[in-house]
């Protein structure tokens, strides 16, 4: 894992956008793995600004989102499909239908999940996966106890995740769906490059386990320690419990800027 500790979310957004811009330039039909949540917003804002400035185009790119609530009506503003369109997809020039996501209204859920896995493979696999991490250590919605080899499937949300996400549902925990569809940990591990963003003190414990803890289903993000190309972008608060923070800072400072992440 490469750990990069940056001063603020704008710096994180800019560095991740550099990697995505460079990917799309060398591979215009790149496949992006898109995450919802507050963590990637600075990346999407930066990419939207670069698109508006004519620096980058997603006209041939494809995207797959990570997860979706089960049972929310299609026009609900908090479906992850609607959120990713508002936060990113509709601000740039993706072709219609180029960004797909799990269907939380699928009637045959196992068949839908298998087809979703097949669609990712048929697209050539994810080139760059953007990730956040939950306070419980989940990536996507792979809650503690998830199989480290899991594929897209239905999951039950933990109480803590529903409390964390109640802010998007008027503060009402009971309005947060109880189930979700999520790419599995094995699905995420198949991406070629994973860029995980975490900011704020509430993420410090999950980041501590993610980077320096034992690999365990109890902290599902720890599976990424087995991935050959993971970049973890942190602010100082999220990095505050890392034992080797000074080492990560020195290492990144000594890295030539042209290398990127």
177 lines the binding site for ligand GLP (CB under 6 A): no
d(CA 257, CA 73): 45
Stretch that binds ligand GLP, among 32-40, 84-92, 95-103, 215-223 (CB under 6 A): 32-40
CB of 59 to ligand GLP, least distance (A): 26
CB of 165 to ligand GLP, least distance (A): 5
CB of 75 to ligand GLP, least distance (A): 20
Contacting residue, 3, 15, 19, 39, with ligand GLP by CB under 6 A = 39
> 45: closest CA among 6, 78, 93, 9?
9
Between 29 and 154, name the residue whose CB sits nearer to ligand GLP.
154
Number of residues interacting with ligand GLP: please give it, by CB under 6 A.
14
- Is 112 within 8 Å of 106 (Cβ atoms)? yes
Residue window 99-128: x/- pattern of binding to ligand GLP, with contact defined by CB under 6 A:
------------------------------
CB of 2 to ligand GLP, least distance (A): 19
Contacting residue, 12, 16, 66, 194, with ligand GLP by CB under 6 A = 66
Residue window 125-164: x/- pattern of binding to ligand GLP, with contact defined by CB under 6 A:
-------xxx-----xx-------------------x---
Burial 183-201 (b: 16+ CB within 10 A, else e): bbbbbbbbbbbbbbbbbee
Between 3 and 133, name the residue whose CB sits nearer to ligand GLP.
133
67 lines the binding site for ligand GLP (CB under 6 A): yes
Q: Which two tokens stand for residue 134?
A: 């939950």
97, burial (CB in 10 Å: exposed 0-12, middle 13-18, buried 19+): exposed
């603020």: which residue's tokens? 8
DSSP string covering 202-261:
GGHHHHHHHHHS--BTTBGGGGGGG-SSEEEEEETTTTTT-TTHHHHHHHHHTS-GGG--
165 lines the binding site for ligand GLP (CB under 6 A): yes
57 lines the binding site for ligand GLP (CB under 6 A): no
CB of 80 to ligand GLP, least distance (A): 8
Q: What is the number of other CB atoms lying within 10 angstroms of the CB of residue 73?
A: 8
Residues 6 or more apart whose CB falls under 8 angstroms from that of 27 comprise 127
Q: Which two tokens stand for residue 208?
A: 């501590």
Contacting residue, 34, 35, 84, 211, with ligand GLP by CB under 6 A = 35
| DSSP 3-state of 155 | strand
Residues that bind ligand GLP (CB under 6 A): 35-39, 66-67, 132-134, 140-141, 161, 165
């Amino acid at each position: 894992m490469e750990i990069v500790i940056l001063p603020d979310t704008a710096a994180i957004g800019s560095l991740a956008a550099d990697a995505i811009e460079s990917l799309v330039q060398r591979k215009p039909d790149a496949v992006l793995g898109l995450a919802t949540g507050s963590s990637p917003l600075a990346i999407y804002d930066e990419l939207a600004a670069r698109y508006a400035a004519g620096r980058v185009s997603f006209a041939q790119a494809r995207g797959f989102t990570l997860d979706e609530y089960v049972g929310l009506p299609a026009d609900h503003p908090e479906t992850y499909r609607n959120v990713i369109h508002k936060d990113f997809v509709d601000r740039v020039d993706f072709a219609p239908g180029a960004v797909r996501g799990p269907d939380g209204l699928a009637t045959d859920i196992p068949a839908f999940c298998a087809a979703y896995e097949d669609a990712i493979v048929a697209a050539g696999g994810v080139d760059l996966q953007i990730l956040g991490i939950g306070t419980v250590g989940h990536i996507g919605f792979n809650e503690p106890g998830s199989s480290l080899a899991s594929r897209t499937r239905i999951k039950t949300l933990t109480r803590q995740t529903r409390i964390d996400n109640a802010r998007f549902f008027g503060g009402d925990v009971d309005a947060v769906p109880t189930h979700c569809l999520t790419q599995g940990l094995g699905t995420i591990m198949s991406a070629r490059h994973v860029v995980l963003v975490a900011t704020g003190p509430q993420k410090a414990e999950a980041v501590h386990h993610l980077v320096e803890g034992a690999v365990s289903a109890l902290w599902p993000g720890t599976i990424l320690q087995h991935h050959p190309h993971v970049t973890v972008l942190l602010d100082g608060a999220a990095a505050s419990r890392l034992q080797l923070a000074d080492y990560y800072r020195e290492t990144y400072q000594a890295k030539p800027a042209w290398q990127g992440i």
